[in-house]
Structures are given as C-alpha cells and as structure tokens.
C-alpha cells in the first residue's frame, strides 16, 4: 500500500512540475524601477537577452526548455516629487528596436504598453509586453534566431492640457 501511494505522489509531483514549468517557459515577467522628474524624460535601454534565460521565439514554434513566446517587463514608475496637486500625463514610448545591433528586421518585434496614462504622488505600474513574429523565410530566420533584441523605453510626465 505504501509503495502504491508513493508512486501516485511521485507521478502527481512530476505532472504538476511539468505543467508549472511549461507555464513559466511560455511567458516571463521581470521588474524595473524608474524615477522621473516632472517634464523630464528618462530613457531605459532594455536588452531582452538580460531579461530571459532562453530566447524569445514566435508563438506556435517548437520550443526548447528555456524559450518563451512573450516577455513582460514591469516598470514601477515614481515621480521625484510627492506633493503634486494634480495628475500628470504619463507618456511611454518605445523606439530604437534592434535585433543583433541592426534594425533591418525590427518589424518582427512587437511591443505593447499597458500604461495607466497618468501619474501623481504614488508609484504606478507600466508593463511592456514583447513578442516576436515568425520570419517569412529561412534567410530572415537565420538573421534573427537567437539574436539579442534591444530597444529603448522612454518615460515622461507632462502637465495635462
């Protein structure tokens, strides 16, 4: 009886561990802190290779153990002042997207920004989600597969119009 129970517990552990590991591999989330001044922009350079253990791959491809199809980067944005009487517009822009140091295939990198839109005296969370489109041909694949993806994220707080 003890043997059967042990086998069942081990099987559940292995199955549960595999399911959790797959969910972790499929999407990765990291955190960054950013402090900005009113009317002053701050630019953060992001290197996805430093954010993940594996590689960002297009959805639907055969994945290796550490590959992910999506990377979420959470930024905690704080103003350098906490005495503001009114909300400010929080502008977040992404530019200078490059794969392996060039922008030739930057269009394959898709980004979306979840931005609350305003900031005042308390920190706010901004999430940048990065995915990769599947290359159209083998030549393009060879130029982007397993290469570093870099981009800049600029944060700015401005008075509302």
CA 2 to mean position of chain CA atoms: 46
Percent pLDDT > 70 in the chain is 81
Side-chain half-sphere CA neighbours of 3 within 13 A: 0
Could you tell me the pTM of the whole model? 0.78
b (16+ CB within 10 A) / e for 9-36: eeeeeeeeeeeeeeeebeebeeeeebeb
Averaged pLDDT of the chain: 81
Percent pLDDT > 90 in the chain is 47
pLDDT at 16 over 60: no
Task: Tell me which residue range forms the domain holding 56.
Answer: 2-159
pLDDT at 24 over 60: no
State how many domains the chain has.
Answer: 1
Q: What string of DSSP letters covers the chain?
A: -HHHHHHHHHHHHHHHHHHHHHHHHHEEEEEEEEEE-BT--EEEEEEHHHH-SS-B--TTSPPPTT-BSEEEEEEEEEES-S--SS-EEEEEEEEEEEETTB-TTGGGEEEEEE--SEE-SS-EEEEEEEEEPPPSSHHHHHHHTT--EEEEEEEEEEE--
Using one digit for the tens of pLDDT, what is the confidence trace for 47-98?
Answer: 988 877 778 888 888 778 888 889 999 999 999 988 889 999 999 999 999 9
* Confidence (pLDDT) at 8: 41
């Amino acid at each position: 009886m003890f043997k059967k129970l042990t086998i069942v517990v081990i099987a559940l552990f292995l199955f549960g561990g595999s399911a959790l590991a797959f969910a972790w591999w499929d999407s990765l989330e990291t955190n960054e802190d950013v402090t900005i001044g009113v009317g002053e922009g701050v630019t953060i350079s992001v290197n996805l290779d430093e954010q993940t253990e594996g590689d960002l791959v297009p959805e639907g491809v055969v994945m290796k153990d550490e590959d992910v199809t999506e990377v979420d980067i959470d930024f905690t944005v704080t103003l350098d002042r906490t005495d503001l009487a009114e909300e400010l517009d929080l502008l977040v822009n992404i530019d200078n997207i490059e794969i392996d140091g060039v922008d030739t295939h930057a269009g394959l990198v898709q980004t979306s920004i979840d931005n609350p839109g305003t900031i005042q005296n308390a920190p706010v969370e901004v999430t940048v989600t990065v995915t990769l489109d599947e290359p159209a041909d083998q030549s393009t694949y060879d130029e982007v597969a397993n290469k570093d993806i870099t981009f800049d994220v600029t944060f700015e707080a401005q008075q509302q119009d």
